[in-house]
Structure 1
Amino acid sequence: MQTSPAHAAHHDDREIETLEEFDATVSARGTLAGYRVQAVDLTDRTRELLATGAAGAVFLGCPMRETAAAKLRADGALLFPPLPDLPFDPYRGLLYTAGELFAGLDQGYERTPDARAYAWFRRTGADRDIYASMLRSVHDDAISDALDELLLGARVVGVMGGHALARGTDAYAGAARLGRSLARSGLTVATGGGPGAMEAANLGAYTAPHDDSALDDACRLLAKAPSFTPSVTDWARAAFDVRTHWPKGGTSVGVPTWFYGHEPPNAFASHIAKYFANATREDGLLARCTAGVVFLPGAAGTVQEIFDNTTPNYYESRGEPTPMVLVDRAHWTDRLPTWPLLRALARDRSMESRIALVDRVEEAPEALARLSEANES
């Protein structure tokens, strides 16, 4: 799932996203012609920039000395200036980390980059500022590009579910065990990146490299702050306490959105693809779940995700169909009767081999594997 820091220097990838990649490319290629350099601080690379050709190159938000900038423009390069007054970098080349989004948490969540980006989003959205709209679009496109690069070749399984699932409950622990089981089977767990069931699945993937007791102990620690209300600060601090107790956790992906910015991202996803546009986020998350999706009990958002995922399977517009497993028969047949409609759609297009309904979360990995085998045959 990871690429080499110098992948741009040795492959056909023309994007440079870190200083290490920049140095490797200049050393190996001797030119920057045609490259795209994203959000790399080149202030200390003036000598290299002055000595390296850059015809047709594009520099997106890269700080540099004016002498270097003038030379690059003379070469025919295109320079998009950094935008330091924003609470986010629209040109970023990599996904977020929890440490980055929650930086400054010791001063309160309101001071973190995540909270400040949400405040900017609410303010500029109300203003209907076309410049701000453009910046959001550029940012989200950069995030999609980074997510594609991260997941290249990975077998991704989505875990969807409600944000209201509280820490300390049996259901939360079950969702966490599901995430751990999927991660240990070699799949990359991807969630909506928020609290509740999403956090639980990311937590399970995070604890996958550790002994089984780590997850039980982590759930007990987290139960001291069961919800992100009334205090996101306390909720997030509890998560970082768990990360401190068990460092070097496993990898997983969270795909949250500032559209629902009142719901903070969880700290257990190793890679966070946070979007401004929720529609882009929803479609992109489901489209990348190539190994299937498990739907835990949820409300309107989870119901929407079920049918967002059903549509391309129904019309066969996304290549190989993705298996879908719904957990909790009573929830999906009685409380929110989604399963009868999903089953009717499946019968209409011979999709029965792509869907399953199970009673308990412990049954989901086996059901997912069974559907995958059926589809492959």
Structure 2
Amino acid sequence: MSTTEVESLAKLRRLLADGSSVRDLRLQDLDLTQVETELLGIDDFTGVVVLGGRLGDTLHRHLRLHGALVFPADPDVPFDAWRSHLYRPRELYAGLREHGYDATPDARSYRWSLDPNQDVYSSLLRAIHDDSISDALGEFLDGRTVVGVMGGHAVQRGSADYAMAAQLGHEVASHGMVVATGGGPGAMEAANLGALCTDATLLEPALTALAEVPSFRPDITAWARVAFEVRERVTADTGAPRSLGIPTWFYGHEPPNAFGNRMAKFFSNALREDVLLRVCNGGIVVLPGAAGTVQEIFQVATALYYAAADRGVLPPLVLVGDKYWRAEMPVWGVLQALAADRPMADAIHLVGDVGAACSTIERIANSQRPTSGPREGGIAP
């Protein structure tokens, strides 16, 4: 059986106008009220699966009576489990300006995830949502070079470390690569900001404005509002994507930042971490951080350690800060010990500043540009 995914009304309208059979279509996250008349005129929906979206009772009955399997959206949960596209930051923060962060879909979804009375149906909705996001992420990044930037969530706006992460994000994105982070505050926010900022002259004023609210604690609303004000001045959300966040509601007490072109937000942190590392086909740059950052380093190191000898050039793992990674958080020695006499040895790098990190990433990217989507070239083996 051959199936066709339809994730836009434009594509569905083309199929209907051509008189093509609708058998075995997968209609995901569509407003079918816009084509109800056309669909009511069809009496064979064999193999058709309707995943979420909008449809009236009349069309719902008609589809089911003529062979379709319908999985309706649940209006009682604060998210769309069947969504076919990634989030824009303003979707997650809808209502922020008028009602504050607690009223936003992001905050409501986090509270929903903490409900102790959830059952197997709730687990199913979370799993469907995360699979839908994973699928949308693959489509969004197909054929693009993606560089991950990791760093501490506690880095405050206005600090030298924050400015360094922003500069790194800007330089990487300016070489035509998508900057992917964990999508949260701190160094992640800074790297996403730098990547989104297409004009280098706007970066310094943006950093100055953001420093007025250094942290999301204790007031997420104020922290997010100034971020969206800065975003409006930095760039329009047009052109090729430069900035991507991959956050999780598992750490819902840490809000997502406002500076991704798109946000791939997951309920499962384990899935989110796997996806984040897997899409980074251009390598990963690691700024100073604590436990979470160290965990990510060794997740990458494990994949590099077990990479097949004939795989070719491995995506680089670049640590920034010689003194920090040798003495203050001495993981460099462990990485070197693991890499001895293995292909991994050529993939790990310790550099002194973000300029050297960018040069390393760009040099390796030029030596082996990917020809397919990020699922085939990332860090994971």
TM-score w.r.t. the length of structure 1 is 0.91
Question: Does the aligned pair in 1 maintain the 2:151–2:287 contact within 8 Å?
Answer: yes
Aligned to 1:331: 324
Work out which of the residue numbers 33, 41, 52 in structure 2 matches 1:61: 52
CA distance in 2, matches of 1:30, 1:374: 45
CA distance in 2, matches of 1:219, 1:32: 52
Moved over 3 A (4+): 317-320, 370-376
Cα deviation, 1:88-144, whole Å, max 9, x if unaligned, reads 011111110111000000211000000000000011xx3352221111111100100
Work out which of the residue numbers 331, 340, 343 in structure 1 matches 2:336: 343
Deviation at 1:54, TM superposition (A): 2.8
Aligned to 2:112: 120
Matches within 5 A, 1:1-377: 14-28=4-18, 30-52=20-42, 53-106=44-97, 107-123=99-115, 126-127=116-117, 129-208=119-198, 210=199, 212-249=200-237, 251-316=242-307, 321-372=314-365
SS at match of 2:114: helix
SS at match of 1:190: strand
Distance 1:102 1:343, change over 3 A: same
CA distance in 2, matches of 1:177, 1:256: 21
Deviation at 1:373, TM superposition (A): 5.6
CA distance in 2, matches of 1:56, 1:151: 29
CA distance in 2, matches of 1:302, 1:232: 23
CA distance in 2, matches of 1:297, 1:138: 35
Q: Select between 170-179 and 94-103 the one with higher mean Cα deviation.
A: 170-179
Question: Which residue identity is paired with 1:68?
Answer: L
Question: Which residue identity is paired with 2:214?
Answer: P
Question: Does the aligned pair in 2 maintain the 1:353–1:371 contact within 8 Å?
Answer: no
Question: Does the aligned pair in 2 maintain the 1:162–1:296 contact within 8 Å?
Answer: yes
Deviation at 1:243, TM superposition (A): 1.7
Deviation at 1:256, TM superposition (A): 0.1
SS at match of 1:36: strand
Q: Select between 62-71 and 264-273 the one with higher mean Cα deviation.
A: 62-71
CA distance in 2, matches of 1:31, 1:262: 48
Distance 1:327 1:225, change over 3 A: same
Question: Does the aligned pair in 1 maintain the 2:203–2:234 contact within 8 Å?
Answer: no
Question: Which residue identity is paired with 1:98?
Answer: P
CA distance in 1, matches of 2:19, 2:246: 35
Question: Which residue identity is paired with 2:180?
Answer: A
CA distance in 2, matches of 1:151, 1:304: 25
Question: Which residue identity is paired with 2:352?
Answer: D
Deviation at 1:361, TM superposition (A): 1.8
Deviation at 1:168, TM superposition (A): 0.9
Number of corresponding residues = 361
Q: Select between 62-71 and 113-122 the one with higher mean Cα deviation.
A: 62-71
CA distance in 2, matches of 1:27, 1:65: 22
Cα deviation, 1:196-247, whole Å, max 9, x if unaligned, reads 1111111011112x2x210011111101111111111011001111122234
CA distance in 2, matches of 1:84, 1:355: 48
Deviation at 1:317, TM superposition (A): 5.9
Deviation at 1:29, TM superposition (A): 5.8
**Unaligned stretches of 5+ residues in structure 1:** 1-11
Deviation at 1:28, TM superposition (A): 4.1
CA distance in 1, matches of 2:133, 2:346: 33
CA distance in 1, matches of 2:262, 2:308: 28
Question: Does the aligned pair in 1 maintain the 2:196–2:235 contact within 8 Å?
Answer: no
SS at match of 2:76: coil
Tell me how large the CA RMSD over aligned residues is.
1.9
CA distance in 2, matches of 1:29, 1:259: 46
Query: Percent identity at matched positions?
Result: 49
SS at match of 2:50: strand
CA distance in 2, matches of 1:372, 1:148: 20
CA distance in 2, matches of 1:32, 1:310: 47
Question: Which residue identity is paired with 1:254?
Answer: G
**Unaligned stretches of 5+ residues in structure 2:** 370-381
SS at match of 1:332: helix
Q: Select between 136-145 and 350-359 the one with higher mean Cα deviation.
A: 350-359
Question: Does the aligned pair in 1 maintain the 2:73–2:81 contact within 8 Å?
Answer: no
CA distance in 2, matches of 1:272, 1:242: 18
CA distance in 2, matches of 1:221, 1:33: 54
